[in-house]
Structure 1
Amino acid sequence: MRLTVYTEYGLHALVHLARNDGRPQTARNIADAIGLPLNHVVKIVHALRRAGYLDTARGRIGGTRLACPASAITVGDVVRVLEYRLDLMACFRAGGFCVVSSVADCHAALSGALVAYLTVLDGYSIADLLP
């Protein structure tokens, strides 16, 4: 399974925040420090804040910081939050129709593969990604 650039950027942003030991970082700081487009960083911060992984504060001394230790945020968590779709086939979507269901039961095999993939990613935290 290939991760979107959005998720890749999210992982880079979280590693950057983890490196800064709780010091608030503006979206502009994050974008500039790791060479990401500012508009992507803003969207990523919003999504990760809604999921409870980031704290944000407005104002002159505001910014973004991790809401919990980097060791408590798994790569699997981030993928689940930032990936637009985790469905491997159209029939995985709600109300999706599988055109090959009469000749092959791919659903069980691919569902198992997705679970295995996410389980491996759950074994790594943002802290594990720090250099």
Structure 2
Amino acid sequence: MRLTDYTDYSLRVLLYLAIRGEGLSTIQDISDAYGVSKNHLMKVVQQLSELGWVETVRGRNGGLRLAERTRKLTVGEIVRATESDFALVACLPDQNGERRPCVITPQCRLRNVLEAARNAFLAELDRHTIDEVAGPQGPLAALLGIRTVIPVVPAVPVEPASDNPLPVA
């Protein structure tokens, strides 16, 4: 089974935004990172936004970021939403539930084998979330040219030294 470029780009956009974290990214950033067409990505981002998986911020300092709930989406859920056809052969039902007739259908074992393989493929994709496949973020961020932001940990206040130290037992 081969996924369409549309699905591939959808997964790449979500992966990029998951790695990027809270900061905003532009379609141009993603296009540059992967070396793919900005125009193709615009169509993908529009659908991802309509699905509520990507938040868009308009304006001069606008951009894109991953909706928080998207981190929990499975790769299988994303593939099902972006692929248009899972009928590996004509006798399997398409998105509309239709199948083309075949003379060997009453005795065909191949159809069941292919259907089981498709189901196993999707089941494996359902085992992995976007958040999971985005890790570890450091190495992926470096490959994509994303500067990772190191969270600032507040310093613990230190009490000033006393002139009268306590006796040590």
TM-score category of the 2 structures, normalised to the smaller one: 0.7 to 0.9
Residue 38 (structure 2) pairs with residue 38 (structure 1) = yes
Tell me the CA shift for residue 70 of structure 1.
Answer: 5.4
The answer to whether the 8 Å contact 1:48/1:81 transfers is: no
Rg larger in structure:
2
Which of the pair has the greater relative contact order for Cα pairs under 8 Å at 6+ separation?
Answer: 1
* Higher alpha-carbon deviation: 68-77 or 12-21: 68-77
The answer to whether the 8 Å contact 2:18/2:71 transfers is: no
Residue 64 (structure 2) pairs with residue 54 (structure 1) = no
2:101 equivalent in structure 1: 98
Greater share of helix residues, 1 or 2? 1
Tell me the CA shift for residue 106 of structure 1.
Answer: 4.1
Query: CA-to-partner distance for each residue in 1:50-109, whole Å, 9 max, x for gaps?
Result: 222111122212221111255402111121122121221223123322313133154443
Equivalent position SS for 1:102: helix
Tell me the CA shift for residue 125 of structure 1.
Answer: 1.4
TM-score by length of 1: 0.85
1:116 equivalent in structure 2: 120
In 1: Cα distance, 2:101 partner to 2:110 partner:
9
Identity value in percent = 37
Q: Which amino acid aligns with 2:99?
A: G
Regions of 4+ moved over 4 Å: none
The answer to whether the 8 Å contact 1:15/1:129 transfers is: yes
Gaps of 5+ in 2: 137-169
TM-score by length of 2: 0.68
Equivalent position SS for 1:90: coil
Tell me the CA shift for residue 12 of structure 1.
Answer: 1.7
In 2: Cα distance, 1:54 partner to 1:106 partner:
40
Q: Which amino acid aligns with 1:128?
A: E
Report the count of equivalent residues. 131
In 1: Cα distance, 2:61 partner to 2:100 partner:
51
Gaps of 5+ in 1: none
2:153 equivalent in structure 1: none
The answer to whether the 8 Å contact 1:54/1:64 transfers is: yes
Query: CA-to-partner distance for each residue in 1:98-128, whole Å, 9 max, x for gaps?
Result: 3131331544433332222111101111222
